[in-house]
Amino acid sequence: MKFDRSSGILLHPTSLPGPFGIGDLGPQAHRWIDYLHGAGCGLWQVLPLGPTGYGDSPYQSFSSFAGNPYLISPDLLLEEGLLHSNDLVETPTFPSEKVEFGKLIPWKIGLLDRAFIQFQQDPSRKLQAEFQEFKAKHTFWLDNFSLFMALKEAYGGGSWVNWPRPLLTREPGALEQASETHSTDIQRQEFRQFIFHRQWNSLHKHAKDENIRIIGDIPIFVAHDSAEVWAHPELFALDDQGNPEFVAGVPPDYFSKTGQLWGNPLYRWEIHLADGYSWWLKRLSAVLGLVDIVRLDHFRGFAGHWEVPFGEETAVNGRWVSGPGEDFFTAVDKALGDLPIIAEDLGVITPDVIAIRERFNLPGMRIVQFAFHGDPKEPFLPHNHEEKSVVYTGTHDNDTAKGWYERVSEEEKSFYRRYLNRDGKQVAWDLIRATWGSVAVFALAPMQDFLSLGNEARMNYPGNPSGNWTWRMPVSAFSESLQVRIKEINFLYDRKNTPN
């Protein structure tokens, strides 16, 4: 798909300000859309929107189709009459600068349960009709997900591989009995998904009305402890106990002597091929129902992935295994048309990865933080960018621009200062200007860089199992002076918000 020159900001909804412990889809999210529009931005990039599991990571979700109930707005529930003002009187005092998931989750779930009770007791005909329409439209994934989450709750939150054997192997009689026994819990899960999608769709419509395109994110691999792996075990390389035979990761490299061990199960691509990649087509369609553009995380995995035997403590003892390659994208293109996909082609990139990206005319990614190692031919340097690419100062996996500059070698700092003819006192805005000045069709930066924040505002340390995904921006970030400054660079580098 052909993209028009534009720019935007990377900010996950959890990072929005607000009084309820986590950013949500309510008033501050709608204010954010207006702020982007007023700054002349045409893009808003988010991380995966699914319900978070291990480590509170959006890349380890309980479902590839469901939405994260923690993003549901209490303010909007109040407006709908699904909460009473008394329900919010005893709201805990949450920190404004970070998400405390351990404190947030039980409170938020309790609030959603009260909204569900209100929905059951006094549902409006309109809302009830919408609920039934939602369930009918999303039955492919919603039925399995709601039962999966109800069973997780019933069995103490542990992995599905520890459930009783008849449920682990999905014996029809056991599933039928479980559906009857846990019918209220299942309806509660369905209700949360209905409300999430209702609030998100309203926000998405607001974005479209302001000519803001939302860039979503699809991790190539899914979490082992997810509804999809439990419901469709034939699609994944699992043993008879439901455990992965192999798991995903990346091999040792400059950044890690032992590689990265992600732990996700790998696909049985031959099974996906046999039915025309139908599960993947449904997955892509579902995400494109929520966003306008999709970033395919770990794009190189479609050409080949690093396979590590289950049980290994590091990613050292792995091997490269071929993926579905061009055949997959041919099937996607045939079924869904010319898709708005960004290929996350960072890391060890081989000619076959480049060939797939170029054949299907997919823009790749460039990270300006990676550019200053001293070689003028470095592909990440702005003068070496291609128009068919998306350039970032950094992503959620990198340090902030200021944090990066404070920790790199003096040689790297020197090359940065020489290349940009800057003194390093405004490093975040130096990198933003270099990024916006690139010929690349899209330019984006994390909100942390627009605020010139340091390492304390980093979103994620890849490979660290905990302590990530907590950063929140202050409400003061919605300043008119910053908005004017962003609008100016959008004008100067011809990245204005224009109608699609």
CATH of the domain at 322: 3.20.20.80
Does 288 reside within a domain? yes
pLDDT of residue 125: 85
Does 104 reside within a domain? no
- The pLDDT tens digits along the chain (500 residues) read 789 999 999 999 999 999 999 999 999 999 999 999 999 999 999 999 999 988 999 999 999 999 999 999 999 999 999 999 999 999 999 999 999 999 999 999 999 999 999 999 987 788 999 999 999 999 999 999 999 999 999 999 999 999 999 999 999 999 999 999 999 999 999 999 999 999 999 999 999 999 999 999 999 999 999 999 999 999 999 999 999 999 999 998 766 789 888 899 999 999 999 999 999 999 999 999 999 999 999 999 999 999 999 999 999 999 999 999 999 999 999 999 988 999 999 987 899 999 999 999 999 999 999 999 999 999 999 999 999 999 999 999 999 999 999 999 999 999 999 999 999 999 999 999 999 999 999 999 999 999 999 999 999 998 777 889 999 999 999 999 999 999 999 999 999 886 65
Does 118 reside within a domain? no
pLDDT of residue 338: 86
402 token code pair = 């200021």
Does 385 reside within a domain? yes
The domain of 463 spans: 6-63+199-492
State pTM to two decimals: 0.97
CB 495 within 8 A of CB 7: yes
pLDDT of residue 1: 73
229 token code pair = 């792996």
Residue 407 CB burial class (10 angstroms; 0-12, 13-18, ≥19): exposed
Catalytically active residues are 297, 344, 397
Does 222 reside within a domain? yes
pLDDT of residue 255: 65
d(CA 35, CA 24): 16
pLDDT of residue 215: 98
328 token code pair = 């997959």
CB 296 within 8 A of CB 341: yes
pLDDT of residue 440: 98
pLDDT of residue 286: 97
Does 175 reside within a domain? no
Does 166 reside within a domain? no
d(CA 364, CA 391): 9
Does 132 reside within a domain? no
212 token code pair = 């803001």
Going by C-alpha positions, the residue among 303, 291, 356 that lies closest to residue 330 is 356
- Number of independent structural domains in the chain: 1
CB 384 within 8 A of CB 336: no
CB 191 within 8 A of CB 131: yes
pLDDT of residue 2: 82
pLDDT of residue 260: 87
pLDDT of residue 61: 97
